[in-house]
């Protein structure tokens, strides 16, 4: 029996299980299939989701018909054309210093620093405030709550609203000492270790899924009351895996990356981070990690300084600016191990040094069989698939002098390299061999986007956030590139870069006005592959291997200059349907502090 001869209901049910691209192709087969796809509100809903870069949610809104959900998606897509065209909502906050803002799944959480100058300097928090933002997607209203008096000094936290999870990082002071510092006077040094507490966001009680309610990390750190050479802690969640990174520039202390399975309560991986020894007292970590998925850890690695110093551009292949090493977190019974290395491009300048900073956003809960039985899922119109995430490498290159390796030009040559997680995971979808596989830059770099940044506009990474395939950046100064050459520089006080291929593909078909076309990088030009070799202003090539500077993203400026209150020194956060802009008045005895919320 031919497929087209089946009953209409059967054909629609079968097509509903197909990929959206196959549904579109079916319309080219015959008139009957085209009419079925066009007339089916369910199939049109799937295609509209695909146009917006989303997927069918685990549970759709039962209170809305497919036609109503299609209209909701169309309104949402139109709002993203120009978010600043809508008036934001203002939420007023107490005039206190906000730290560690965390925004995921429509929930904004942040901490307040404890009262007292010395306590504030060493970064102890005693409150966490939560704002569940109003959602058109979920049909839920705004809610606010907070927790305080945790009974221990809290330094960082992470949340996963889909399972009501709150993780607190406790800094346990082991001993303290007073030391004299030439520039700062007497400083109080606190030697610490860290513990993780697994609680619920809603009630601040122990979480039922945690294998251990409190986990001793066996990591060491220090705090300096003068804020110099502090230990910085970074916490990340991805499904069952939780990672804590300790980093300090003080040479006498150890930097480490540790991953645990918090559901089982056991340690999965621990890596001591090597450093660049700047002098007898200061060192810079050479590794930077991100949880690529629940199964894989990625670590960006910079070559040893001696290897770079002794390199020569005449050596075939040159020197990689670094690698991305992938560790499998469930390689039992042998434990976690490195399974792949992705090479970064080769540098061609004979005398240079560089740094790589990795940035990523909060991960969505994986849709594995285990989590599908545990998730507290709210029905919604649209959903971003967990695998549609990315991270960003901020690369800075300084030119040094051949006779003086310590000399460097004051302004680096900075770039942003955006890497979709699925690009790497596609290479890992093979049986693991006994030795790590090596993927050359020329093989995988074609799928990435390299953005040239103005040397005067290196974005501080505290003012940039990532959500899914969107990257929010404050004070974004960039070069546009055409025909292999950098044209004039541009600047956005606040911008969102969107790397979703589906949204980019269908964006030109929406019907822009001439003014709205300016929101697209290179207007309506279709994305293509433009491999070029980056050059310095003196015409010297930076890389031996080419980099992809194709305009494979859309640029969405956010007009923050017209807000009644100026933006605070905090990042603008973004989600599928929200843009959150923290603001604060300066030079005022009773400054207004709050949040401007764009709901799209």
Closest by CA position to 166, among listed 127, 193, 137: 127
Label residue 529 by pLDDT band (50, 70, 90).
very low
Query: What average pLDDT does range 336-362 have in this prediction?
Result: 84
Asked if 600 contacts 578 with a C-beta cutoff of 8 angstroms, the reply is yes
Which residue do the tokens 């100026």 mark?
566
More confident residue, 170 or 561: 170
14 alpha-carbon distance from chain centroid? 36
Query: Reading across the β-sheet that carries 437-439, which strands appear in turn?
Result: 287-291, 296-301, 323-328, 337-343, 437-439
How does pLDDT run across 282-341, given as a tens digit for each residue?
556 677 899 999 999 999 988 775 444 444 444 445 677 889 999 999 756 567 888 999
Query: E strands within 230-336?
Result: 232-238, 241-247, 256-261, 266-272, 275-277, 283-285, 287-291, 296-301, 319-320, 323-328
Cross-strand pairs, 216: 195
More confident residue, 394 or 2: 394
Contacts for 323 with CB less than 8 Å, ≥ 6 apart: 300, 301, 341, 342, 343, 344
d(CA 60, CA 578): 20
d(CA 244, CA 256): 8
Task: Please report which residue ranges of 27-65 form alpha helices under DSSP H.
Answer: 31-39, 41-51
d(CA 581, CA 598): 8
Query: Residue 519: pLDDT above 70?
Result: no
Distances 279 to 71, 196, 305, 484 between C-alpha atoms, Å? 61, 33, 13, 40
Query: E strands within 114-226?
Result: 125-132, 143-148, 154-160, 165-181, 185-200, 214-224
Angle subtended by helix axes 41-51 and 31-39, to nearest 10: 80
Percentage, residues of the chain above pLDDT 70: 75
Cis peptide before 327 (omega within 30 of 0): no
Q: Looking at residue 312, what is its pLDDT?
A: 42
Structure tokens at 25: 């192709």
Query: Residue 498: pLDDT above 80?
Result: yes
Asked if 292 contacts 425 with a C-beta cutoff of 8 angstroms, the reply is yes
The DSSP annotation for 329-378 comes to TT-TTT-SEEEEEEEPPEE--SSEEEEEEEEE-PPPPP--HHHHTT--PP
Q: Looking at residue 239, what is its pLDDT?
A: 94
Q: Looking at residue 181, what is its pLDDT?
A: 62
Structure tokens at 489: 């520089």
Residue-averaged pLDDT of the chain:
80
Query: What average pLDDT does range 158-166 have in this prediction?
Result: 96
Query: Residue 512: pLDDT above 70?
Result: no
d(CA 79, CA 577): 9
Query: Residue 43: pLDDT above 70?
Result: yes
Contacts for 216 with CB less than 8 Å, ≥ 6 apart: 193, 195
d(CA 265, CA 46): 40
What are the sequence ranges of the domains in the chain? Answer: 3-81
Q: Looking at residue 398, what is its pLDDT?
A: 76
Q: Looking at residue 471, what is its pLDDT?
A: 93
Asked if 60 contacts 379 with a C-beta cutoff of 8 angstroms, the reply is yes
Q: Looking at residue 586, what is its pLDDT?
A: 67
Q: Looking at residue 530, what is its pLDDT?
A: 45
Cross-strand pairs, 553: none
Query: Residue 50: pLDDT above 80?
Result: yes
Label residue 185 by pLDDT band (50, 70, 90).
low
d(CA 98, CA 100): 7
Query: What average pLDDT does range 516-521 have in this prediction?
Result: 37
Contacts for 62 with CB less than 8 Å, ≥ 6 apart: 379
Q: Looking at residue 226, what is its pLDDT?
A: 57
Q: Looking at residue 453, what is its pLDDT?
A: 77
Rounded to 5°, angle at Cα 503 from 511 and 10 = 100
Q: Looking at residue 174, what is its pLDDT?
A: 80
Distances 434 to 334, 340, 424, 437 between C-alpha atoms, Å? 11, 11, 19, 9
Closest by CA position to 583, among listed 598, 571, 575: 571
Angle subtended by helix axes 41-51 and 66-81, to nearest 10: 20
Phi then psi for residue 205, to 5 deg, are: -115, 160
Query: What average pLDDT does range 143-167 have in this prediction?
Result: 91
Contacts for 239 with CB less than 8 Å, ≥ 6 apart: 293, 294, 363, 365, 366, 368, 371
Give the least confident one: 318-327, 341-350, 381-390, 429-438.
429-438
Contacts for 117 with CB less than 8 Å, ≥ 6 apart: none
Query: Residue 521: pLDDT above 50?
Result: no
d(CA 15, CA 166): 40
How does pLDDT run across 401-427, given as a tens digit for each residue?
655 555 555 567 788 889 999 999 998
Query: Residue 215: pLDDT above 60?
Result: yes
Query: What average pLDDT does range 428-434 have in this prediction?
Result: 74
End-to-end Cα separation, the chain, in angstroms: 46
More confident residue, 76 or 286: 76
Query: What average pLDDT does range 239-246 have in this prediction?
Result: 92
How many CB atoms are located within 10 Å of the residue 130 CB?
A: 19
Q: Looking at residue 534, what is its pLDDT?
A: 58
Q: How many residues does the chain have?
A: 600
Asked if 542 contacts 318 with a C-beta cutoff of 8 angstroms, the reply is no
How does pLDDT run across 101-120, given as a tens digit for each residue?
899 999 999 987 655 444 44
Beta pairing, strands 296-301 & 323-328? antiparallel
d(CA 365, CA 145): 23
Q: Looking at residue 70, what is its pLDDT?
A: 96
Q: Looking at residue 455, what is its pLDDT?
A: 58
How many CB atoms are located within 10 Å of the residue 205 CB?
A: 10
Give the least confident one: 156-165, 362-371, 444-453, 465-474.
444-453
The DSSP annotation for 77-141 comes to HHHHH-GGGSPPEEEEE-SS-EEEEEEETTEEEEEEEPSSHHHHHTT-EEEEEEEE--BTTTTB-
Q: Looking at residue 286, what is its pLDDT?
A: 74
């Amino acid at each position: 029996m031919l497929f087209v001869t089946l009953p209409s209901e059967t054909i629609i049910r079968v097509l509903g299980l197909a990929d959206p691209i196959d549904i579109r192709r079916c319309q080219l087969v015959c008139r009957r299939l085209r009419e079925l796809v066009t007339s089916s509100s369910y199939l049109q809903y799937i295609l509209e989701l695909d146009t917006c870069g989303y997927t069918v949610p685990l549970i759709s809104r039962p209170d809305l018909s497919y036609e109503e959900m299609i209209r909701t998606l169309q309104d949402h897509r139109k709002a993203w054309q120009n978010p600043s065209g809508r008036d934001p909502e203002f939420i007023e906050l107490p005039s206190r210093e906000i730290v560690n803002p965390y925004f995921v799944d429509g929930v904004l959480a942040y901490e307040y620093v404890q009262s007292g100058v010395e306590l504030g300097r060493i970064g102890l928090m005693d409150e966490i405030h939560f704002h569940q933002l109003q959602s058109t997607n979920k049909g839920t209203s705004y809610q606010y709550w907070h927790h305080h008096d945790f009974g221990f000094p809290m330094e960082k936290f992470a949340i996963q609203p889909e399972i009501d999870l709150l993780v607190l990082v406790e800094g346990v002071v082991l001993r303290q000492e007073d030391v004299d510092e030439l520039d700062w006077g007497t400083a109080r040094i606190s030697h610490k270790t860290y513990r993780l507490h697994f609680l619920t966001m809603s009630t601040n009680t122990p979480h039922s899924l945690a294998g251990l309610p409190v986990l001793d990390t066996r990591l060491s750190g220090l705090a300096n009351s003068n804020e110099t050479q502090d230990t910085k802690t970074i916490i990340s969640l991805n499904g069952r895996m939780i990672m804590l990174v300790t980093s300090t520039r003080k040479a006498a202390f150890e930097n480490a990356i540790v991953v645990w399975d918090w559901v089982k309560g056991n340690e999965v991986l621990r890596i001591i981070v090597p450093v660049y020894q700047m002098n007898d007292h200061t060192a810079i970590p050479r590794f930077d990690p991100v949880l690529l998925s629940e199964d894989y850890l990625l670590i960006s690695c910079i070559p040893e300084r001696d290897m770079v110093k002794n390199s020569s551009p005449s050596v075939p292949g040159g020197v990689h600016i670094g690698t991305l090493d992938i560790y499998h977190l469930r390689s039992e019974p042998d434990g976690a191990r490195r399974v792949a290395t992705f090479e970064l491009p080769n540098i061609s300048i004979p005398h240079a040094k560089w740094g790589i900073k990795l940035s990523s956003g909060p991960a969505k809960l994986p849709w594995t069989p285990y989590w599908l039985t545990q998730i507290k899922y709210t029905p919604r119109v649209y959903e971003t698939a967990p695998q549609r995430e990315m991270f960003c490498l901020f690369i800075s290159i300084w030119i040094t002098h051949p006779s003086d390796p310590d000399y460097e030009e004051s302004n680096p040559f900075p770039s942003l390299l955006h890497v979709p997680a699925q690009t790497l995971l596609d290479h890992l979808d093979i049986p693991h061999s006994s030795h790590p596989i090596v993927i050359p830059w020329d093989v995988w770099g074609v799928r990435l986007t390299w953005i040239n940044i103005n040397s005067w506009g290196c974005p501080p990474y505290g003012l940039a956030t990532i959500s899914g395939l969107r990257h929010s950046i404050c004070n974004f100064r960039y070069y546009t590139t055409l025909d292999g050459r950098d044209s004039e520089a541009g600047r956005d006080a606040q911008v969102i870069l969107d790397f979703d291929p589906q949204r980019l593909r269908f964006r030109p078909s929406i019907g822009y006005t001439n003014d709205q076309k300016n929101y697209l990088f290179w207007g309506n030009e279709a994305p293509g592959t433009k491999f070029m070799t980056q050059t310095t202003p003196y015409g010297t090539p930076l890389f031996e291997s080419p980099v992809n500077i194709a305009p494979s993203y859309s640029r969405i400026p956010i007009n923050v200059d017209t807000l009644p209150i100026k933006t605070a020194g905090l990042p603008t956060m973004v989600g599928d349907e929200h843009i959150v802009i923290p603001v604060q008045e300066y030079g005022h005895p009773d400054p207004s502090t709050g949040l401007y919320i764009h709901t799209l």
